[in-house]
Amino acid sequence: MGTLHELHEAGQSVWLDFIRRDMLATGELARMVTDGIRGLTSNPTIFQKAIGGSDSYDAAIRDALTDDQDSGPLAVYEGLAVADIRDAADALLGVYESSAAHDGYVSLEVSPYLAADTAGTISEAHRLWNLVARPNLMIKVPATPEGIPAIEELIASGVNVNATLMFSLADYEAVAQAFVRGIRRAADPHSIASVASFFVSRVDNITDAALDKVGSERALTLRGRTAVANAKLAYERYLQIFEGAEFADQIERGAQTQRVLWASTSTKNPAYSDVLYVEPLVGPNTVNTMPPATIDAYLDHGSADGAALLAGMDQAHDHFVALADLGIDFAALAAQLQVDGVQAFADSFAELLATVEEKMRALR
């Protein structure tokens, strides 16, 4: 049986990949912070489930309609989301302050409709940053080709960024270097924080399907291993960039490193352990953002080994050699995952707005 505090002692911060208004109103989030939660992430899918799956938002929607009968679903949703993000940021402010701005962050995503629009992403990120007006806010920006220059510009201007939807070492490299460039341009790097959200479980989903298609005995033995191997190699690169000579001058200026954040850590395949994307990825200066079910699974039967993430690096490299030998183009699979991820969030955003609109109709 593990505790979230044990993970923190091993160097990893646990952030909650979930938000819903009733958990803020009842003090549930505050209790989770006491138990070891050190941050919170959100996305359109999470908000869609929160607003559509409960009546916690009905009173606020009714109030919004009372104030302005002509409000559209986007404006109403934004009001709901901003209020939740502010309350969550306030609940985590003590963590932010006691950790010297290392933890205690709450993430809010720019519209997924802007994933291919650099200028639009920058403008929207600044607008949301100023609207929420909390020092422990992070703006989520996808690591698309158009998102990479936006990440650099936002970091340079002092906006905290959660760079998201990374599936490959190429994605990670682009994000890390954008952060480094941005920090070098920043007037006050001490006040800027960022994480690189590296997605995990979806990698196994798509690679396992490719291995099943190959169908050989060798291919089938590689199933369920790609995601963790991929994450280990990303962490290896993190150490090279941020804990070596390359970033040392910026640390002297007071900059934080851009920690790797493990995202999509719920196990999708029931044949695999429900802590598969937790236990092997424990290591110093990392974040794992977990949905409630994964947190519960870890608390029930997980364990924290601070050396786990660095173990098996040679095998991780060998794994990708084996995939290539089998004719599996992992780079192409990872690129498809990012395209699919952007589309999935766009679909969730559309569903979210439809859910808000339906509630508005009912409450009118």
Task: List the chain domain ranges.
Answer: 4-363
pLDDT at 363: 84
pLDDT at 229: 98
Cβ atoms of 153 and 182 closer than 8 Å: yes
Secondary structure (3-state) at 13: strand
pLDDT at 68: 79
CA distances from 327 to 162, 171, 201, 333 (A): 34, 21, 22, 12
Q: Residue 29: name the closest of 98, 112, 86 by CA.
A: 86
Q: Quick one: how many helices (H) and strands (E) in the chain?
A: 17, 8
pLDDT at 117: 98
Q: Return the active site residues.
A: 140
CA distance 336 to 5: 36
Bridge partners, residue 12, by sequence: 286
Residue type, 275: V
Cβ atoms of 284 and 307 closer than 8 Å: no
Residue 192 has pLDDT above 80, yes or no: yes
pLDDT at 2: 72
Q: What is the DSSP letter of 351?
A: H
Secondary structure (3-state) at 172: helix
Q: What is the average per-residue pLDDT within 214-242?
A: 98
Q: What is the average per-residue pLDDT within 93-102?
A: 97
| Crossing angle of the two packed helices 58-67 and 330-363, in degrees rounded to 10 | 70
CA distance 84 to 72: 19
Mean pLDDT of the chain: 96
Note the pLDDT tens digit of each residue in 257-271. 999 999 999 999 999
Secondary structure (3-state) at 198: strand
pLDDT at 261: 98
pLDDT at 67: 82
pLDDT at 107: 98
CA distance 214 to 208: 10
CA distance 14 to 281: 12
Residue 1 has pLDDT above 80, yes or no: no
CA distance 328 to 133: 46
Q: Residue 238: name the closest of 33, 4, 11, 20 by CA.
A: 11
For 76, the token pair is: 């109403």
Q: What is the average per-residue pLDDT within 103-107?
A: 98
Q: What is the average per-residue pLDDT within 198-217?
A: 98
pLDDT at 196: 98
pLDDT band at 189 (very low <50, low <70, confident <90, very high): very high
pLDDT at 348: 93
Q: How many CA atoms lie within 13 A of 179 on its CB side?
A: 31
Cβ atoms of 291 and 18 closer than 8 Å: yes
CA distance 348 to 51: 12
67-76, 139-148, 329-338: range with lowest mean pLDDT: 67-76
Residue 70 has pLDDT above 90, yes or no: no
CA distance 150 to 161: 10
pLDDT at 364: 76
Q: Residue 160: name the closest of 194, 126, 132, 197 by CA.
A: 194
At CA 280, angle to CA 325 and CA 37, rounded to 5? 140
Q: What is the average per-residue pLDDT within 318-337?
A: 98
Residue 163 has pLDDT above 90, yes or no: yes
Q: What percent of the chain has pLDDT over 90?
A: 96
Helices (H), 166-225: 169-185, 201-214, 217-221
Could you tell me the sign of the dihedral formed by the alpha carbons of 57, 63, 69, 70, in that order? negative
pLDDT band at 175 (very low <50, low <70, confident <90, very high): very high
CA distance 32 to 292: 10
Fold of 4-363: TIM Barrel (3.20.20)
At CA 164, angle to CA 158 and CA 168, rounded to 5? 125
Note the pLDDT tens digit of each residue in 21-43. 999 999 999 999 999 999 999 99
